[in-house]
Amino acid sequence: MLQQPQVFIVDDEPTARDTIEGLLYRENYDLIFAADVFDALDQLNHISPDVILMDVMMPGVDGFEACQRIKNDERWHHIPIILITALNSKEDIARGLDAGADEFLSKPVNGLELRARVRSMLRIKEQYDELTRLLHLREDMAGMVVHDMRVPLNVILGFSELLLIENNLVDQQRQDIEKIHSQAQRLQAFVNDLLILAKAEQDKFILNCTQVDVNRLMEEVEQDHGLLAQSKKINLVVKLPPYPTLMMLDKNLMRRVLDNLLSNALKFSPSNHTVTVRVGQCGSDTAKAQVRIEISDEGPGIPAGYRDRIFNKFEVVTLKDHHVSQVGLGLAFCQMVVDAHGGQIWVEDNKPTGSLFVVEI
């Protein structure tokens, strides 16, 4: 059996609640009532209505404030709210829209209009629920595929490592196997990023923080990327403070953030140009952050209009279609890790040309 749509009616006047019930009783809805805002908020902890009908003029907390509280709560923000009011000025309507109201009804309530607006909001809620269900299904399927990819990847990495141990390989064979091994490692890092992103979105993202010397960490990153820089004839410059830079960090996750940012900088820098890495203290205007890491390149740069979007995993395809460089899930991963550490990450111009990625933690 299909579940009845649940309509939540919030009004302090019993007569008003009875009137709405009478106008909707033939619609086959499950009607739930609350006599004030506090009762409504308490009931929302236990019910999941499909639409809320709320009177504006109530004692204590009015409908405007109640609407704003509901829309600001991630558990309930998707529920359509119809405000019922005797107020009809443009200022009142604007206030209701600012509070997050989806529809309005004027008093006295007209039955035909009431039923039409409730049906309209129910259609919107149904579309939202279906979209949410499909998104969850897609994420679950993607998670299963990504998780299952780890087994064949580990096999490829393991056998390629065994082949590299062989002494009877000619130079071309060794180079080919090294390429296979290198690309499998890249794919493994990408799979791991996807799994971490999925855990973070499910609130399973747990940091394993220890005291880390950021200078030493950056030296390790420089060592790993030095050969790539040489092969591309890029001058890799790393500027570190003369003293240890100790911080409580998840070393593995932060290492991958730096790997992603430096890999992007090298990837999009032309030959015979410079990529610069700087580690230092934050300025006095930064209240909480202690360390500032800058990675700059001399590539094509990122247009100002796209800089707020490159860290969003849902923008990857769109931005690549617009030929925006340095986008990918790696940047979404960086954003999530830096956020988890209570820091900030952003990109700005590297004058005269290129991009400057900044991490402050």
CATH number of 6-109: 3.40.50.2300
- For tokens 């009616």, the residue is 9
User: Which pairs count as long-range contacts for 61-67, CB under 8 Å and 24+ apart, including other chains?
Assistant: 61/36, 61/37, 62/37, 63/10, 63/37, 64/95, 64/96, 64/99, 65/37, 65/99, 66/10, 66/37, 66/40, 66/41, 67/96, 67/99, 67/100, 67/101
* Per-residue pLDDT at 191 exceeds 80: no
Report DSSP state, residue 68. H
> Six-digit token pair at 240?
């570190």
3-state helix, strand, coil in the chain (%, to 5): 50, 15, 30
Distance of alpha carbon 124 from alpha carbon 52, whole angstroms: 13
Q: Which residue type, as a one-letter code, is found at position 353?
A: T
φ/ψ (deg, to 5) at 281: -85, 150
pLDDT bin (cut points 50, 70, 90) of residue 266 is confident
Distance of alpha carbon 255 from alpha carbon 295, whole angstroms: 14
* Per-residue pLDDT at 257 exceeds 50: yes
- Please state, rounded to an integer, the average pLDDT across all residues of the chain: 84
The stretch 237-264 carries a mean pLDDT of 89
Pick the CATH number of 210-360 from 3.30.565.10, 3.10.580.10, 3.40.50.300, 3.40.50.850: 3.30.565.10
Distance of alpha carbon 345 from alpha carbon 336, whole angstroms: 10
pLDDT at site 238: 93
pLDDT bin (cut points 50, 70, 90) of residue 329 is low
pLDDT per position as a tens digit, 330-345: 788 888 889 888 899 9
Domain ranges of the chain: 6-109, 141-201, 210-360
Q: From the CB of residue 331, how many other CB atoms can be counted at a distance below 10 Å?
A: 25
* Per-residue pLDDT at 315 exceeds 60: no
> Six-digit token pair at 290?
């202690």
pLDDT bin (cut points 50, 70, 90) of residue 292 is very high
pLDDT bin (cut points 50, 70, 90) of residue 317 is very low
* Per-residue pLDDT at 179 exceeds 90: no
pLDDT bin (cut points 50, 70, 90) of residue 324 is very low
Comparing 145 with 279, the larger pLDDT belongs to 279
pLDDT at site 124: 92
Q: Kindly give, in sequence order, each residue whose CB lies less than 8 Å from that of residue 194, ignoring residues fewer than 6 positions away.
A: 142, 146, 329
* Per-residue pLDDT at 200 exceeds 80: no
Q: Kindly give, in sequence order, each residue whose CB lies less than 8 Å from that of residue 340, ignoring residues fewer than 6 positions away.
A: 200, 205, 207, 250, 253
The stretch 28-42 carries a mean pLDDT of 92
Give whichever of 61-75, 133-147, 150-164 has the largest mean pLDDT. 61-75
* Per-residue pLDDT at 121 exceeds 80: yes
> Six-digit token pair at 230?
């040489």
* Per-residue pLDDT at 189 exceeds 80: no
The stretch 212-234 carries a mean pLDDT of 88
pLDDT at site 286: 46
pLDDT at site 11: 93
Comparing 75 with 320, the larger pLDDT belongs to 75
pLDDT at site 1: 45
* Alpha carbons within 13 A on the beta-carbon side of 76: 24
